Amino acid sequence: MGMTMTQKILAAHAGLDKVEAGQLIMADLDLVLGNDVTTPVAIKEFNKIGADGVFDKNKVAIVPDHFTPNKDIKSAQQCRLIREFAHHKEIANYFEIGRMGIEHALIPEQGLAVPGDVIIGADSHTCTYGALGAFSTGVGSTDMAAGMALGKCWFKVPEAIRFNLTGKLQPWVSGKDVILHIIGKIGVDGALYQSMEFGGEGLASLSMDDRFTIANMAIEAGAKNGIFEVDQQTLDYVKEHSTKEYKVYSADEDAVYTRVIDVNLSEIKLTVAFPHQPDNTRTIDQAGDIAIDQVVIGSCTNGRIEDLRAAARVLKGRKVHPRVRTIIFPATQKIYLQAMKEGLLEIFIEAGAAVSTPTCGPCLGGHMGILAKGERAVATTNRNFVGRMGHPESEVYLASPAVAAASAVTGRISSPEEVVL
Over residues 101-112, mean pLDDT: 96
Lowest mean pLDDT among 23-27, 211-215, 272-276, 384-388: 384-388
For residue 366, the model assigns a pLDDT of 85
Number of helical H runs and strand E runs in the chain: 14, 18
Alpha-carbon distance of 194 to 19, in angstroms, equals: 15
Does residue 50 surpass a pLDDT of 90? no
Interhelix angle for 305-315 vs 333-341, to 10°? 40
According to DSSP, the residues that pair with 153 across neighbouring strands are 27
Over residues 220-243, mean pLDDT: 95
CB 199 within 8 A of CB 162: yes
* Domain 272-419, CATH class in plain words: alpha beta
Alpha-carbon distance of 415 to 345, in angstroms, equals: 22
What residue ranges do the domains of the chain occupy? 5-265, 272-419
For residue 201, the model assigns a pLDDT of 95
For residue 361, the model assigns a pLDDT of 84
Regarding predicted confidence, which is higher, 47 or 365?
A: 47
Q: Read off the pTM.
A: 0.94
Grade residue 420 by pLDDT with cuts at 50, 70 and 90.
confident
Does residue 195 surpass a pLDDT of 80? yes
Alpha-carbon distance of 73 to 83, in angstroms, equals: 15
For residue 363, the model assigns a pLDDT of 83
pLDDT digits (tens, 9 = 90+) for 283-300: 999 999 999 999 999 999
For residue 221, the model assigns a pLDDT of 96
Alpha-carbon distance of 277 to 188, in angstroms, equals: 8
Does residue 243 surpass a pLDDT of 90? no
CATH of domain 5-265: 3.30.499.10
Does residue 182 surpass a pLDDT of 80? yes
CB 337 within 8 A of CB 304: no
| Cβ-based neighbours of 267, under 8 Å, separated by 6 or more | 167
Over residues 29-45, mean pLDDT: 95
